[in-house]
Amino acid sequence: HAVSKQCTIDTIESLVGVDIDYYVDTNFQGVVDIVDALDGIVVDSPIAFVGQSSSAQRGHYTVYVPAGEDVRLNGEQALAFARERHLFATGDFARQEHQQEVIEAIIRKMMRTRDVNTFLKVLEAAGQNIQTNLTVDQMTSFVSYALQKTNRYYDSEHLEKVFQLRTSRVTGYSSNLWDSGSKILLYIYRLWNGSLADTRKAINRNTDMTSVISAVTNRIKWSINWEFTPSPISYDLYAEAQIPGDTIPAEYACGENQYLNEDGKCTCNAGFTMDANGGCVVQTTPTPSATPTPTPTATPDDDDEPTPAPTPTPTPDDTTPEPVPTPTPDPQTPEPTPVPTPTAEPTQPPVSCGENAYENGGACYCNDGYTGDPYSACYVIIPDEPEQPEGGEDGGGG
C-alpha cells in the first residue's frame, strides 16, 4: 500500500487468486467527514483509550474513545478507533476488525436513514475525500438496486441486513526475514497455505454465479426459530510445518544489551552505554560531590565559661624518617644572625560579668542605672525620697 493502489490490488490478486475489479480509497479526513455527516456511528469498544487525531502530523493523541457496547462515536473518535493497534493484544489484527466494524456501522447507518439531506452530506464528504474506479452509472445502479431490496425487506428496523457482510482474514504465524539491503531483521507474518486455500474457496463460492451447491435434500433440517451461525472461513491453526525464520548473520550479530540500528551498526539498548571494549554496560549517573555542611559555632552566653578548643594530637606515621645530619659550619663562613621569633602576647581569658553588667577592657561594669558588684550582680539604683516640707504634704500651715 505504500507504493500504490495498483500494487496492493496486484498483491491481493496474486495471493488469493481472484480478480479485483473495483476499489474505493479514502483518506483520514474522509472517514471523519462521512461519520459526522451521518451524525455518528455505533460500535463496540472493548477498552477506553486516547487515540490519534486526523492531523497530518503524527503523534497527536488527543481523541478520547470510551469503552462499552453500542458506544456512539463521532468522526474523530471513529477514525481513532479504526487506527489504534498498540493497545490491543492482537495488534494489527484488532485494528483490521475495528476497521471492518466501522465500515459496517457506516453502511448500517446509511441504510437506516430516510433523510435526503443526510445522503447529500455523505455524498459531499465522499466526493472530497474518496477515490474510486466506479463510474457514476455503476454507483447509481448499485444504489437503485439497494433501494429496491430495502423496499421489499421484511425488517424495516434493520435494513442493513439486506446486505450480509462476511469478514475474515488469512491466518498464519510470526516469523523473521533478514533484509540484506537495510541490514535489519524484519518481522513478517507467514501465511498458512490452508488458510489461503479456504479464503480463495469462499470468495469463489460467492462470486461465481455458475457454481452449484449440491446437498442431500432429505438430510437438510431448517426452522425459522433457529439462529444461523455460519462456519468460519479460515482457522487460526493448520496442520502444517512452520518455515524457520531468518537469524542475524554472524558478521552483523550484536553483543549483549545491543541491537542493530537502521545503519547496520550495533547500538546499546536504552539505559546502557558503550565502554572502551565495545561492550554495553549499565549507564550510571555520576553522584555529585557532597558539600560539607559547616558546623555552627555556639555563641557562649555571658554566664557560660568558654570551652577551650582541644589540642590536636599528631598521628605518627608508619615509618620514622631518617635523621637529617647537621652540617658542619665552615670556619670561613660567618654564622647568620638569628632572626628573633615574635612572641604572641598572652591572651587574657574572657571575663564573666554578673547580671546587669557588661565587660570592657577586661573589666566588668554595671549597666547605666545599676549599681553593685559587677562580677556578681548589679541592682537598680533607687533614688532618695525628697524631704517633705514642714506642715504636711500640701505645704500649708496648721
How do residues 325-345 score in pLDDT, each as one tens digit? 555 555 555 555 555 555 545
Residue type, position 34, single letter? I
pTM (predicted TM-score):
0.60
CA dihedral 161, 163, 164, 165 (to 10 degrees): -120
pLDDT tens per residue across span 40-70: 999 999 999 999 999 877 777 899 999 999 9
How many residues are there in the chain?
A: 398
- Calculate mean pLDDT across residues 79-103: 93
- What's the pLDDT at 324? 53
Q: How confident is the model at residue 80 (pLDDT cuts 50, 70, 90)?
A: very high
Could you give the CA distance from residue 64 to residue 77 in angstroms, rounded to a whole number? 7
Domain ranges across the chain: 5-167, 168-216+231-247, 250-283, 351-381
Give the model confidence (pLDDT) of 362-388 as tens digits: 788 887 777 777 777 776 666 555 454
- Helices assigned H by DSSP within the chain: 5-16, 28-37, 75-83, 92-112, 116-129, 136-151, 193-207
Are 77 and 98 in contact, with CB atoms under 8 Å apart? Answer: no
Write down the CATH superfamily of domain 5-167.
Answer: LCP protein (3.40.630.190)
Q: Residue 149: pLDDT band by 50, 70, 90 thresholds?
A: confident
Confidence band (pLDDT; 50, 70, 90) for 312? low
DSSP secondary structure code for residue 355 in this structure: B
Q: Please, how many CA atoms are within 13 Å of residue 327, restricted to the half-sphere of its CB?
A: 5
| Contacts of residue 169, Cβ cutoff 8 Å, sequence gap at least 6 | 93, 96, 234
